[in-house]
Structure 1
Amino acid sequence: MPYNIDVAAALATAREMTFREGDYHWVHDGRWGLPERPRPNSVAELWADPVVQETGTHSVLDIWDVCGSAEESEIAVAAPLTQQTAQRLFGTDRPTRDDYQRAQGAPWDVVEDRGFGYYVVLYRDNVPDEISFFGTTGD
């Protein structure tokens, strides 16, 4: 996402975009032993489905909020990477998009449990440029 000092607003934008583009796991697509159904018209309708409530969407839609530190992290909430973790993963505490893409093959050992998310600010010319949300919400 483009950088926004309001990380919660950036998350809301990411969620809206993901829903609008249909870039999420839809359990009613006919492949999972359930009857095929069209995708919902709203996020509220999506989450009203009991199967979706159980399985999630395997996307940023499964992350509902952000918190200020990893110590505050809880399920369905994205926490910021610490400077130490960013340094370990990217070789810098101000990673660029290139640093982030190179690290994609690295073990994301900060993601310890399903349902937890993280975010990291990515820099361009040492200025905040993007926010990347990541985590594991499904198989």
Structure 2
Amino acid sequence: MSATVTATPSAVEPTSNEKAVAWATDHMNVAASGANSPAEPGLMVAAESDKGALFVWETADARLCHGVAFMPGMTTVACSSRPDSPPVEGKPRLVPLVRMMATGWNVVFGAERETVESVTCNGRSLQVRDVGVVASGRRTVHAIEFPDLTVGKVSVQVRRGTRVVTEYLELVSAIAYAALPFGQFDGEGTGVGGNAWTQTGPYQPDLAAAFRQVQERSLAEDDHGFGGRTVEELWCDSDWAEYIFTGGTCTVLDFPEMIDATDRNDGPFMRPLTDSEVRAWAPGGRPTYEDWDKALDTGRLEFPDRGRGNCTVLYRDGWPDLIGYWGVTSD
């Protein structure tokens, strides 16, 4: 008589994150009750840690919800008041869905009529979590995470048929940015703004390139204790963001990028003046350094609100000579 002994594989011990997500799922299914209960496919994990998870889901009446469950017993649930909100549009686009502090600074976004291929922050690749599908299959949901509050934009490479194009996603909404606790300001010429500052840099026809050049020069002159990194790398560092938003450098380094002159985004960006804005204090449209300096001193040219900057080309003998930058710190 012989016997065969078969080894039974031992069960794989769940990781701390897996245990936390299982705990969070149980608690969120209790918290998201009644009309806010998740419809199929149920709770979708957008972010996780060893303390809990961030979820998104749709209700039976097509309302989008999100919730957080953290040990030892904290849960929150928030749902849209209307079905299909935000509505799916007829053209390809990215749409922010959730921007909050949960397992880090979590940004959940949807893609409509296009496929997300990658996300980068100033050239650095970010991990993208494919969360699921909502809106009857018309919107895919994705998530990215930063260790701490991070502002600015990320580049999202999306595929539309045979083409790959780049879109940009704001990491903090304009309303949320305005509400951030950056403190009260007492700076010159700012109303309720922070410290007002001015700076000049070399002229280039490409204003964005000129802005980056003067940023690099400013960083080389003073790295503010953040040596060994480029401007792009700094703006992916939450410690740098905290440094800027709790004091700043009073230079062009206080902004991650330059936006278009017609863009009224509330974020911490450098914005060139439009031609009409320049002519309001320099009727000829070609201000000299002296014109610019006097306009700021007399208040004919105002400083922007806190956490913002402006710039314009300055002329000498009718030809572009410098670019003047001015702004107000966030705190």
Fold agreement, TM-score > 0.5: yes
Among 196, 204, 213, which residue is 1:4 paired with? 204
Higher helix residue share: 1
Percent identical: 31
Give me the whole-angstrom Cα distance separating, in 2, the residues matched to 1:101 and 1:18: 20
Question: Is the partner of 1:10 in helix, strand or coil?
Answer: helix
> 2:322 is matched with which residue: 122, 130, 134?
130
1:97 is the counterpart of 2:289: yes
Q: Which residue of 1 aligns with 2:308?
A: 116
Matches within 5 A, 1:6-85: 6-22=206-222, 26=224, 39-41=225-227, 42=229, 43=231, 44=233, 47-49=237-239, 51-55=242-246, 56-85=248-277
Structure 2 CA distance for partners of 1:118 and 1:54, relative to 1, 3 Å: closer
Cα deviation, 1:77-113, whole Å, max 9, x if unaligned, reads 22221222212223431101121122231224351x2
- Kindly provide the CA deviation profile for residues 33-81 of structure 1, in whole angstroms up to 9, marking residues without a partner as x: xxxxxx2213546844264154233321111222222334442222221
- Of structures 1 and 2, the larger Rg is shown by 2
More contact order relative to length (CA 8 Å, sep ≥ 6): 1
Partner Cα separation in structure 2 for residue 99 and residue 106 of structure 1: 11
Structure 1 counterpart of 2:194: none
Q: How far apart, in 2, do the equivalents of 1:48 and 1:73 lie?
A: 21
Query: Runs (4+) of structure 1 moved beyond 3 Å?
Result: 43-48, 70-74
Q: What are structure 1's unaligned runs of at least 5 residues?
A: 27-38
SS of equivalent residue, structure 1 residue 95? coil
The corresponding residue for 1:35 is none
Q: Counterpart in 2 of 1:31?
A: none
**Contact (CA 8 Å) 1:73, 1:79: kept in 2 or not?**
no
TM-score, normalization by structure 2:
0.34
More strand by share: 2
Q: Equivalents in 2 of 1:45, 1:2: separation in Å?
A: 23
Gaps of 5+ in 2: 1-200
Superposition RMSD on alpha carbons, in Å?
A: 2.5
* Structure 1: distance between partners of 2:279 and 2:215: 27
**TM-score, normalised via structure 1 length:** 0.72
| Count of paired positions | 124
Q: Tell me if the contact between 2:313 and 2:321 (Cα under 8 Å) persists in the aligned partners.
A: yes
Alpha-carbon contact 1:57-1:138 (below 8 Å) kept: no
